[in-house]
A and B are shown apart, each in its own frame.
Chain A
Amino acid sequence: MRPFNYSRAETEKEAADAGSDGATFIAGGTNLLDLMKLEVMTPDALVDINPLDLKSISTTDDGGLRIGALVTNSDCAADQRVRHDYPVLSKAILAGASGQLRNKATTGGNLCQRTRCYYFYDTAMPCNKREPGSGCGAIGGVNRLHAILGASDACIATYPGDMAVALSALDASVEIRSANGNMRSVPVTDFHRLPGDTPEKDNVLETGDLITAVTLPPPPGGTHVYRKVRDRSSYAFALVSVAAVAKMENGKISGIRLAFGGIAHKPWHDPAVEDVLTGESPSEALFDKAGEILLKDAIGQGSNDFKIPLARRTLSAVLRQATASGASA
């Protein structure tokens, strides 16, 4: 770990000012310190934002929820409103990491979680995300964890988190305070980027931007499913995960939101998949069609080829479960 200056921000402005000067925010620190120890990330300055008043969950004017950026994953998953109105979010958070990590990891920090690509984590290896221009070690190497959708010649890494997958299915937004104090809201589905030629940029945050909250629209109702498929039964990253919020009316799918983890550089959201399902009666043929649309551009890299059938199978199983109740809950 390289030496750094440590300071605490008591106000959002203090934090943003430090951020504008190039400091890196630290909240839970569970991923940042992990990467700093390996010198994958080497900030000169850390600003501890834990003193900020961003630790509460409140109801918004439109009946949704505002989850402060410093609300821990544990507190978010255990919140009665989240459990009752947005169970897919509780489920996704609980499917990730461990009890200890969830107690430190925060809502804002978790959105910024970096890839688990083996080559990103190893400074002896080339990696365009860690060191732009050095090449991609994962292409042609070991790539079990890697992307099947939206990858580029520069990077085939995946976004590893669970929470953001559920947030994508819930049509949540990220509330961001810019360096100049202006607030903006970015849909979670637009928050993370595809790698393209600049895989070093995981998301749309600019220098000095501070995530202040995640906002959820009014409770969507319906059946909530989060299914995570991984290499052991707990405490492992997703190979494929699917978040679904489905509403049924008269035996037909009246509305559905789907998002996918473990298959791309961002939580994957494809409106075309939802469109083909909406208004239809659930059937295996319909689920297959949804899978075809989802995966029509999917490309395997060798050791992750299996993710293509796995994503299709998992989607079908999730749709089966999400539409089984027959009517809106």
Chain B
Amino acid sequence: MTNKFEMNDPVADLKLDRMKQGLVGSPMDRPDGKMKVSGQATYAHEWDVPGRVYGFLVRSRHPRARVTGINRDAVMQMPGILGVYDDKRLLRNPAQGMADEAPVQGTEEVFYLGQPIALVVAETFEQARHGAEALEVSYTTLDDGVFDPETANIADDDRGRKALDQGDIETAMAQAEFSLDETYRTPGHNSAAMEPHCSIAEWDGDQLTLRGSYQMLKFNRNELADSLGIDPANVRILSPYIGGGFGSKLGIAPEAVSAAIAAKDLGRPVCVTLARQQVFDMVMRRSETRQRVRLACDQSGKLTAIGHEALVSNLPGETFSEPVVQATHFLYGGATRRLGIDVARVNRMCAGSVRGPGEAVGMQALENAMDELAERAGIDPVEFRKRNIPEEHPEKGIPYSTRKLHEALDEGAKRFGWEKRSAEPAKVREGEWLIGTGMATAARVNMLQESQARVTLTAEGKAVVETDMTDIGTGTYAILTQISGDMLGLPPENVETRLGDTDFPPASGSGGSFGASSSGSAVFLACEDIRKQIAEKLQADEADLDLENGEVNAGDQTHKLSDLLNGKPMTGEGHVVPGKTGEAVSQGTYGAFFVEVAVNSTTGETRVRRMQGTFDAGRILNEKTATSQCYGGMVWGIGIALTEELMFDNRDGHIANRDLAEYHVPVNLDVPDIEVHLLKERDPWASPIQSKGIGELSICGAAAAITNAMYNATGIRFRDYPATLDKVISGMAD
């Protein structure tokens, strides 16, 4: 019997707090750590699949065209070449996260420069790569390409997505004591996960096994099956280790489908790995945004109006639009509100989820604007934010679940030493360097997703956790081991967590920061199922069981688990589904960033010298991995603020800087010794384990804290990202 739980009411019983093993919350080392540091963890490309051959995708060299022919014969005569595929089922671009069906298929019509149009397969990687480069393709160019989102015509049904028009913002702005109306621009971003996308497809009759690098396997299986026109039951995906995702591996991608098509035709396993340039060309970008932010407040600094309207872009036919205003809906008060998103249809590569979709760039603009309005109102920026924390959701009128924003702001300010700050800009100087401090609020929506897991207590009294959940570096192996270890009273070495296999019960997958809470809840419920079975055996109440170090204690009886099982394994199944708490309350995660920067008065170079983050994300499941997630988000904030930008050539929509030399992700020296502080909290509305998402929170607003600090250092407001040195010196007097 599956222990199914629908999240309809807050969970009053903080069961995990009563467990004796003491694993949940502790900074336990990752169980997968030793494999990773010794090079033994198997990523997609690294499976030993005998007889495998290599495929390399061919990209379109035109942005808008029809492929009229490929010179297959010439390439087939090259040494080692086994096949050239331009099958109608090839994907134009990856599926969006949780699409559960094939994305746009067929690559004959070209929608962007860099689009995959064929696959060349050869005995060796070297032969395939050269074959792909050598393939002659003829095109008819189409002349309706649109490359610049800011000059694109926008269709009516692409206007005002997620829109809200509450009250009259023009009047509110006109009547306000203090107001701000500014436009911010953020460029496109690439996830740049360290492991390039890779799939090895292997067929056994009608059964397809795909060893891939994917974040959400239950969806990926359906997407792959739909793309190929086969029954999902015939597809198995294995992704036990994933070299980073950040949204780029949410949906099935061109390399997987092409590998499967070629492998079927050749009767041999086919491995297709994207070159790094292809990851830039054809995976997913975060859309660039243009954001108009309007804020109005009264004399006391209370917001009276918020306007946040964005222009984003995507390919024709894509449903995803960067949800820029997601947190603006619930974070601050203000009765008058106008929010919305317009989508420009452009011939640039596909836009989709990149770490913290929506808030990562939306909070950036909002928190820049809040900083500026605070200054206009003559109120300290921390205080200004505290004055605008609403009692209830300003649009829906529903209460919040737990929300320690006030505490995060106060605690962060205290830890950072905010009171020592000079509020007046451009006042602190050390030689050539101008020193400044700034802050921003962190906020991100919280979600729970359906997730299932199976836990087996072996006859020896060890636990095996199985779910098709993935660990993309987020720490899933650790937290699921901790949850089951605590629930079943086992030390971590007696728990084996198996992930990333669609043969296991389907989980939420990794995305939207919901993975830990959702899959963790499923494992929790599966363990609870086992505890109930144990209680039944002992004729005790499950709640009265104490399990610790392989022993179970119920009232006056104590048994070794292995004795109790008497040679028979015991299996528990857990199944969590979201319910009414998702609508009854507003669920978010919160925090505060404090930053000190040094800006070079000569060259405009900026260095982040100190960075402090305080976060509230409900129950922290593993202090060590949660802290690492926060480092990650905050460093992404450094990249978004200062260095990262997809440079599109508006003549043809192609990305000029399509490699890691010229797309500048932060390097070690860009990053100071960041301080992360996690607030103690339990959110009974969020999940059966009272945890919330943390993987994306720490990016949402981080960039704004940096540019707010740059303002404090220089007196220059940065509204056009990234705040590279050219923008700094153009704002400086000579």
> Is there a chain A Cβ closer than 8 Å to B151's Cβ?
no
| Contact, CB under 8 Å: A310 / B670 | no
Question: Nearest-CB distance from B469 to chain A (Å)?
Answer: 34
Q: A122 CA to B725 CA in the complex, in Å?
A: 26
> Is there a chain B Cβ closer than 8 Å to A212's Cβ?
no
* Given known A-B contacts A1-B129, A140-B651, A313 and B726 have beta carbons under 8 A apart: no
- Among the 9-residue stretches A54-62, A217-225, A233-241, the one with 4 or more Cβ atoms under 8 Å from chain B is A233-241
> Is there a chain B Cβ closer than 8 Å to A296's Cβ?
no
- Among the 9-residue stretches B315-323, B378-386, B550-558, B653-661, the one with 4 or more Cβ atoms under 8 Å from chain A is B653-661
| Contact, CB under 8 Å: B133 / A317 | no
Q: Binary interface profile of B, 113-128, with partner A (CB < 8 Å = 1, else 0)? A: 1000000000000100
> Is there a chain A Cβ closer than 8 Å to B59's Cβ?
yes
| Contact, CB under 8 Å: A39 / B669 | no
Contacts of A142 in B (CB 8 A): 647-649, 656-657
Question: Nearest-CB distance from A102 to chain B (Å)?
Answer: 15
| Contact, CB under 8 Å: A234 / B668 | yes
Q: A264 CA to B452 CA in the complex, in Å?
A: 60
The residue in chain A whose Cβ has the minimal distance to the Cβ of B129 is A1
Considering only residues 2-43 of chain A, those with a C-beta below 8 Å from chain B are 2-3, 37-39
| Contact, CB under 8 Å: B649 / A231 | no
Q: Which of A140, A237, A310 contacts B725 (CB 8 A)?
A: A310
Q: A137 CA to B651 CA in the complex, in Å?
A: 10
From B277, B649, B656, B726, residue with most partner A Cβ within 10 Å? B656
| Contact, CB under 8 Å: A122 / B602 | no
Contacts of A234 in B (CB 8 A): 667-670
> Is there a chain A Cβ closer than 8 Å to B605's Cβ?
yes
| Contact, CB under 8 Å: B725 / A118 | no
> Is there a chain A Cβ closer than 8 Å to B729's Cβ?
yes
| Contact, CB under 8 Å: B643 / A231 | yes
Q: A1 CA to B127 CA in the complex, in Å?
A: 8
The residue in chain B whose Cβ has the minimal distance to the Cβ of A233 is B669
> Is there a chain A Cβ closer than 8 Å to B181's Cβ?
no
From A119, A123, A137, A231, residue with most partner B Cβ within 10 Å? A231
| Contact, CB under 8 Å: A116 / B651 | no
> Is there a chain A Cβ closer than 8 Å to B520's Cβ?
no
> Is there a chain A Cβ closer than 8 Å to B204's Cβ?
no
> Is there a chain A Cβ closer than 8 Å to B724's Cβ?
yes
Q: Which of A37, A140, A141 contacts B656 (CB 8 A)?
A: A141
* Given known A-B contacts A1-B126, A141-B656, A316 and B602 have beta carbons under 8 A apart: yes
Q: A222 CA to B350 CA in the complex, in Å?
A: 55
Q: A28 CA to B725 CA in the complex, in Å?
A: 33
Considering only residues 627-681 of chain B, those with a C-beta below 8 Å from chain A are 642-643, 647-649, 651, 654, 656-659, 661-662, 664, 666-670
Contacts of A309 in B (CB 8 A): 729-730, 734
From B79, B133, B602, residue with most partner A Cβ within 10 Å? B602
Q: A121 CA to B280 CA in the complex, in Å?
A: 14
Contacts of A235 in B (CB 8 A): 667
Q: A37 CA to B726 CA in the complex, in Å?
A: 33
Contacts of B602 in A (CB 8 A): 313-314, 316-317
Q: A231 CA to B657 CA in the complex, in Å?
A: 13
> Is there a chain B Cβ closer than 8 Å to A124's Cβ?
yes
Considering only residues 291-329 of chain A, those with a C-beta below 8 Å from chain B are 303, 306, 309-310, 313-314, 316-317
Question: Nearest-CB distance from B200 to chain A (Å)?
Answer: 22
* Given known A-B contacts A1-B129, A123-B133, A141-B656, A118 and B664 have beta carbons under 8 A apart: no
Question: Nearest-CB distance from A159 to chain B (Å)?
Answer: 15
Contacts of A2 in B (CB 8 A): 130
| Contact, CB under 8 Å: A229 / B729 | no
| Contact, CB under 8 Å: A314 / B603 | yes
Q: A118 CA to B663 CA in the complex, in Å?
A: 11
Question: Nearest-CB distance from B695 to chain A (Å)?
Answer: 24
> Is there a chain A Cβ closer than 8 Å to B61's Cβ?
yes
Q: Which of A3, A38, A141 contacts B651 (CB 8 A)?
A: A141
| Contact, CB under 8 Å: A122 / B651 | no
Considering only residues 567-608 of chain B, those with a C-beta below 8 Å from chain A are 602-605, 607
Question: Nearest-CB distance from B274 to chain A (Å)?
Answer: 14
| Contact, CB under 8 Å: A231 / B666 | no
| Contact, CB under 8 Å: B662 / A118 | yes
From A2, A116, A237, A313, residue with most partner B Cβ within 10 Å? A313
Contacts of B654 in A (CB 8 A): 122, 124-125
| Contact, CB under 8 Å: A231 / B724 | yes
Question: Nearest-CB distance from B122 to chain A (Å)?
Answer: 12
Q: A11 CA to B642 CA in the complex, in Å?
A: 49
> Is there a chain A Cβ closer than 8 Å to B170's Cβ?
no
Question: Nearest-CB distance from A238 to chain B (Å)?
Answer: 11
| Contact, CB under 8 Å: A306 / B664 | no
From A38, A234, A306, residue with most partner B Cβ within 10 Å? A306
| Contact, CB under 8 Å: B670 / A233 | yes
The residue in chain B whose Cβ has the minimal distance to the Cβ of A288 is B734
Question: Nearest-CB distance from A223 to chain B (Å)?
Answer: 17
Q: A116 CA to B602 CA in the complex, in Å?
A: 25
Q: Binary interface profile of A, 238-249, with partner B (CB < 8 Å = 1, else 0)? A: 010000000000
Considering only residues 124-183 of chain B, those with a C-beta below 8 Å from chain A are 126, 129-130, 133
Contacts of A236 in B (CB 8 A): 661, 664
Question: Nearest-CB distance from B710 to chain A (Å)?
Answer: 15
Contacts of A145 in B (CB 8 A): 662
Contacts of B605 in A (CB 8 A): 229-230, 233
Q: Binary interface profile of B, 269-296, with partner A (CB < 8 Å = 1, else 0)? A: 0000000010000000000000000000
Contacts of B113 in A (CB 8 A): 124
> Is there a chain A Cβ closer than 8 Å to B391's Cβ?
no
Contacts of A230 in B (CB 8 A): 605
From A118, A123, A137, A309, residue with most partner B Cβ within 10 Å? A118
Q: A323 CA to B392 CA in the complex, in Å?
A: 63
Question: Nearest-CB distance from B385 to chain A (Å)?
Answer: 30
Contacts of A141 in B (CB 8 A): 649, 651, 656
Q: Binary interface profile of A, 200-235, with partner B (CB < 8 Å = 1, else 0)? A: 000000000000000000000000000001111111
> Is there a chain B Cβ closer than 8 Å to A144's Cβ?
yes
> Is there a chain A Cβ closer than 8 Å to B432's Cβ?
yes
Question: Nearest-CB distance from B584 to chain A (Å)?
Answer: 46
| Contact, CB under 8 Å: B657 / A118 | yes
| Contact, CB under 8 Å: A237 / B661 | yes
Q: Which of A3, A232, A313 contacts B670 (CB 8 A)?
A: A232
| Contact, CB under 8 Å: B651 / A313 | no
| Contact, CB under 8 Å: B651 / A124 | no
Q: A123 CA to B277 CA in the complex, in Å?
A: 12
From B129, B651, B654, residue with most partner A Cβ within 10 Å? B654
| Contact, CB under 8 Å: A306 / B667 | no
Q: Which of A123, A303, A306 contacts B729 (CB 8 A)?
A: A306
| Contact, CB under 8 Å: A317 / B432 | yes
The residue in chain B whose Cβ has the minimal distance to the Cβ of A142 is B656
Contacts of B642 in A (CB 8 A): 232
Q: Which of B61, B133, B643 contacts A232 (CB 8 A)?
A: B643
| Contact, CB under 8 Å: A233 / B664 | no
Considering only residues 140-178 of chain A, those with a C-beta below 8 Å from chain B are 140-142, 144-145
Q: Which of A116, A119, A124 contacts B661 (CB 8 A)?
A: A116
Q: A310 CA to B642 CA in the complex, in Å?
A: 17
| Contact, CB under 8 Å: A310 / B133 | no
Contacts of B734 in A (CB 8 A): 309
Q: Which of A122, A229, A233 contacts B607 (CB 8 A)?
A: A233
Question: Nearest-CB distance from A122 to chain B (Å)?
Answer: 7
- List 20 A–B pairs whose Cβ atoms lie within 8 Å, in order of A's numbering: A1-B129, A37-B129, A118-B662, A121-B659, A122-B656, A123-B133, A124-B113, A141-B649, A141-B656, A142-B647, A142-B648, A142-B657, A229-B725, A232-B664, A233-B670, A309-B729, A310-B725, A314-B602, A316-B602, A317-B602
6 closest cross-chain pairs (CB), A and B: A306-B726, A142-B656, A124-B61, A118-B656, A234-B669, A317-B602
Instruction: Given contact pairs A142-B647, A232-B666, enumerate 18 new A-B contacts (beta carbons under 8 Å).
Output: A39-B133, A118-B657, A118-B662, A124-B59, A141-B649, A142-B656, A144-B647, A229-B605, A231-B664, A232-B667, A232-B670, A233-B667, A236-B661, A303-B647, A306-B725, A306-B726, A313-B602, A316-B602
